[in-house]
Structure 1
């Protein structure tokens, strides 16, 4: 008995049970946790109420139409960025692709039919997306390095094509960016269609589900017999396509294409994804939540513009928002001591 008592030392004794943590209240509807969605809707409502109470021009038809048009570029880039982020990657070249696609389209409308010129602009984005995807997937290069190199290279190609802005005179060129279907801009409906179809793609198709799974565990996906490289290339191709389309629509809306446009557009796209709850580590995010992130970001930008805040302070705020949301996401994960 004495031997047994001496053997029961602190080293061999069972460790004390860790005190249970108090769980945060959650709103579960239909078996799904809706807490984040309700919080997101409350944030949007708060921004709208703030705008209504502090600005006389927010709810004017002109401002609302401009708000819907401003969503388009950020929205298209954000969806393409979301698909790449879901794989665990990043695409820093989207702003440069916007500039290149826009200026190529504007330069070709004098020699080609307008739909053909716009098709060339979108095709340029597709080509850049494929090249990024091949370098990342086939050669195993880091997405940050590849797309950072693409950012500078594509921007340089835009200046090679034209060092000065190009302003097409063909009236039909402005139709895509300015046409209205009732009170809603056509370009906004195109963006919404991309999100709807993109959401179906990510959740209802084998390729979309594979892209999401790659960000969670690429090795498991490979062992399941899925071609990881092909789906990574597809993700970057989608991002390039969205960036090319955004460049064409932006040039059509403002009526002029510049090789310098699109600087820091990738920050807006990443911010919208992160605000929408996408994880930069990959494997988590949705089209619907990202669209909500776009709406929040555009509302904030619109309010700051109405208040006369300088653009560089807006960039500071976007950076702080990204850091704050990432800290909140990290705080919701289990912590191990």
Structure 2
């Protein structure tokens, strides 16, 4: 039984990679264009904003929390940039967006940790508040960005597209923080068992708070990369993108219950989601199928996480033998 559980766990842990190979075969058989190198480069470029967003979401999920407001944070900060800050150089615009998004994350983290309100409720409320403010500021108009920002999408660093450079930089920093610093180990400890972490002397509330700030910061960076690609934001900008970020993280092995996962899997999950969307676009699938496919991906991700968690709990469970008298 234990051997069977381990085999199933191994399959679940590698499910995204198996699914990716299956998709390559299926879409490749339907269209030769899908397997082209240029198409894979486009997939990674398109996946960059979601990958950055999902990396920030990974920090929050690892602590056993969730942030549903990142899409609305992208919309509000991008709207403020388009309305009030279009005249400043783009590096200052990026810094401003990052600062505003980090402040939003700090508000979420402060309410969750100081008032003890469930993160699902807090960030759901923030989602509606931020999107409402953005619509009020923009008067629900589509906002355009100037050429200095949109030109960044065509910029390259040593031959590498700027979007890929941005997401690679975020990934590298996140990996170093999670796997090479005491803070990263504390994040895993808090997610694995908050009460034990608290008894061990870890500042649990501060760690959770900082993870929300990091999620907000990544929302700002991801939003900026996104607007360089599309050049405009409207009322539907960032709508429901938080679910794609969560699905990417969970598909990549991050547990919704906290304490397990890595940004490596998260990035692969984001690329997997964009691969599906790219393949559907190449084969000219009905656009109405896209939401259904996204919903199926989210369902699969949650199902895999649930099965994976139950099997891990079984494997980690130890039988306690009753004491017997002599």
TM range (shorter): 0.7 to 0.9
Distance change >3 Å, CA 59–CA 109, structure 1 → 2: farther
Q: Which residue of 1 aligns with 2:169?
A: 193
Q: Which residue of 2 aligns with 1:111?
A: 87
- For residues 108-145 of structure 1, give each alpha carbon's deviation from its aligned partner in whole angstroms, at most 9, with x where no partner exists: 44332222122211211111000000000111001010
1:314 aligns with 2:295: no
Using the size of structure 2 for normalisation, the TM-score is 0.87
- Aligned partner (choices 23, 27, 50) of residue 4 of structure 2: 23
- Aligned partner (choices 151, 165, 172) of residue 142 of structure 2: 165
1:216 aligns with 2:197: no
1:102–1:250: 8 Å Cα contact kept in structure 2?
Answer: no
Deviation at 1:66, TM superposition (A): 2.9
- Aligned partner (choices 141, 145, 148) of residue 117 of structure 2: 141
Say which SS state the counterpart of residue 79 (structure 1) adopts: helix
1:109–1:168: 8 Å Cα contact kept in structure 2?
Answer: no
- Aligned partner (choices 240, 251, 274) of residue 250 of structure 2: 274
Deviation at 1:183, TM superposition (A): 5.3
The alignment yields a C-alpha RMSD, in angstroms, of: 2.4
Q: Distance in 1 between matches of 2:180 and 2:63?
A: 17
1:105–1:248: 8 Å Cα contact kept in structure 2?
Answer: no
Deviation at 1:57, TM superposition (A): 2.4
Q: Which residue of 1 aligns with 2:127?
A: 151
Larger radius of gyration: 1
Deviation at 1:21, TM superposition (A): 5.2
Say which SS state the counterpart of residue 233 (structure 2) adopts: coil
Q: Which segments of 5 or more consecutive residues in structure 2 lack a partner in the other structure? A: 318-326
1:179 aligns with 2:151: no
Q: Which segments of 5 or more consecutive residues in structure 1 lack a partner in the other structure? A: 1-19, 28-32
Using the size of structure 1 for normalisation, the TM-score is 0.84
Q: Distance in 1 between matches of 2:206 and 2:288?
A: 39
Deviation at 1:291, TM superposition (A): 1.1
Say which SS state the counterpart of residue 57 (structure 1) adopts: helix
Distance change >3 Å, CA 129–CA 46, structure 1 → 2: same
Deviation at 1:312, TM superposition (A): 4.2
Which shows bigger deviation, 182-191 or 226-235?
182-191
Name the count of aligned residue pairs.
311
Q: Which residue of 1 aligns with 2:322?
A: none
Say which SS state the counterpart of residue 63 (structure 1) adopts: helix
